[in-house]
Amino acid sequence: MNDNFLKACRGEKVDYTPVWLMRQAGRYMKEYQEVRSKVDFLTLCKTPELAAKVTLQPIDVLGVDAAILFSDILIPVEAMGMHLEFSEKKGPILSEPVRNKSGVDKLVIPDTEDSMPFVLETIRILRQELENRVPLIGFSGAPFTLATYIIEGGSSKNFVNTKKMMYQNPGLFNALMEKITSTVIEYLSSQIKAGAQAVQIFDSWAGILSPFDYEKVIFPYVKNAIKSLKKFDVPVIYFVNNCSGLLETVKKSGADVIGIDWRVDMEKAVKRLGKKVSVQGNLDPCVLFGPKEHIEERVQDILNKAFTARGHIFNLGHGVLPETPVENAVAMVEAVHKLSKE
């Protein structure tokens, strides 16, 4: 098996810098669109054979060094007892957002095998399909990121309801965070037991917080989740979007790998994080709209700047955008492999 990704996570010597892309299975690929045209998004997530099929597509098309389970971060939130639907225009919608004690009390900590067996079955299928190829990454949203969706009822621009609960009713907010954290731990533990060889925790919205609020209010839950997962011998990746102001705290999370978004200079990020963690990232997803020569130039720049890190996994600084030309994503992967070998 090509294990360069796992070696880089652990800071071991690699043959070349491994690369995978957040949202590497998705709307920018015609192969994905063909599958998606026949089913709605949630059905795709909940049908193991189809979810496995679209997970594998980028391995064949792009030549990346790791597969990431095709699912959605809100799957465990639905299992906690919330009604979830996806709108083509508005994105995820959680009816009856949780903003009071009775709402928090109604939420359950789900058993993954009972309430989300399709996720575990997808992982089992993928481990068979990926044997002797590349490792499989499982994932979950981070406790705070999931809390924002639960409280806001979907996406938000200013997260007023989330911050109001944090400031006005910290006891209720902490009770919610404890339930979500227990859910994340159970969910990721089950994914690992089913065969995930690494897991990533997505903190997509942690960057909306001040460094003070992140460290004092949110970070203990992340740290607890990661500590609970350390009993498994698999790398844990922690990705914080818009992490520039938080890196000194993030590096104390206990994660093996810290994902870096594109708003931070990689060389400075490596210096701030130190030698105890590997790094992942951090090409601006919009660079993939440029000419191939420009893509290669930017790849080289990031490879140079991450060279002193304990380990480096090349990735985008956020997910692949739907309009991205597939041939440019392929060119980026090829550039990472070629230039890092040199």
pLDDT tens figures, 91-147: 899 989 999 999 999 999 999 999 999 999 999 999 999 999 999 999 999 999 999
User: 301 by DSSP, 3-state: which?
Assistant: helix
Q: Which residue(s) pair with 19 in the sheet? A: 314
In this structure, the number of other CB atoms found within 10 A of the CB of residue 262 comes to 20
Report the DSSP pairing between strands 312-313 and 91-95. unpaired
149 an active-site residue? yes
Catalytic residue among 36, 127, 133, 272: 36
For position 28, what pLDDT does the model report? Answer: 97
The model's confidence at residue 338, banded by pLDDT at 50, 70 and 90, is very high
Whether omega for the bond prior to residue 100 falls within 30 degrees of 0, making it cis, is no
In the numeric block, the tokens 């230039």 are attached to 339
Residue type, 233: D
213-240 mean pLDDT: 98
Catalytic residue among 28, 32, 99, 149: 149
167 an active-site residue? no
User: 207 by DSSP, 3-state: which?
Assistant: helix
Residue type, 73: I
Report the DSSP pairing between strands 257-259 and 198-203. unpaired
Mean pLDDT of the chain: 97
Catalytic residue among 23, 99, 298, 310: 23
Whichever domain contains 196, its CATH number is 3.20.20.210
Q: Rounded to the nearest 10 degrees, how much is the dihedral formed by the CA atoms of 282, 266, 278, 342?
A: 80
Which residues lie closer than 8 Å to 174 by C-beta, 6 or more apart? none
Say yes or no to pLDDT of 209 above 90. yes
What distance in Å separates the CA atoms of residue 218 and residue 173, rounded to the nearest whole number?
Answer: 10
27 an active-site residue? yes
Full residue range of the structural domain in which residue 52 is found: 4-341
Which residues lie closer than 8 Å to 168 by C-beta, 6 or more apart? none
Residues in the chain, overall count = 342
In this structure, the number of other CB atoms found within 10 A of the CB of residue 87 comes to 9
Is-contact 74 148, C-beta < 8 A?
no
36 an active-site residue? yes
For position 89, what pLDDT does the model report? Answer: 79
State how many domains the chain has. Answer: 1
Span 239-292, pLDDT tens digits:
999 999 999 999 999 999 999 999 999 999 999 999 999 999 999 999 999 999
Catalytic residue among 72, 203, 256, 261: 72
Continuous H helices in 80-218: 101-106, 112-115, 117-129, 143-152, 160-168, 170-194, 211-213
Taking only Cα atoms into account, the Rg of the chain, rounded to an integer number of angstroms, comes to: 19
For position 100, what pLDDT does the model report? Answer: 98
Say yes or no to pLDDT of 220 above 90. yes
For position 114, what pLDDT does the model report? Answer: 98
Phi and psi at 313, nearest 5°, equal -110, 120
Span 23-74, pLDDT tens digits:
999 999 999 999 999 999 999 999 999 999 999 999 999 999 999 999 999 9
Is-contact 151 29, C-beta < 8 A?
no
What distance in Å separates the CA atoms of residue 231 and residue 253, rounded to the nearest whole number?
Answer: 15
Q: Which two structure tokens, joined as six digits, stand for 302? A: 């990031």
What distance in Å separates the CA atoms of residue 332 and residue 131, rounded to the nearest whole number?
Answer: 25
In the numeric block, the tokens 């790791």 are attached to 66
First to last CA, the chain: 22
Is-contact 306 270, C-beta < 8 A?
yes
Burial class (CB in 10 A: 0-12, 13-18, 19+), 325: exposed
Catalytic residue among 27, 133, 263, 272: 27
In this structure, the number of other CB atoms found within 10 A of the CB of residue 323 comes to 10
For position 111, what pLDDT does the model report? Answer: 98
What is the DSSP secondary-structure string of 6-55? HHHHHT---SS--B--TT-SSTT-HHHHHHHTTS-HHHHHT-HHHHHHHH
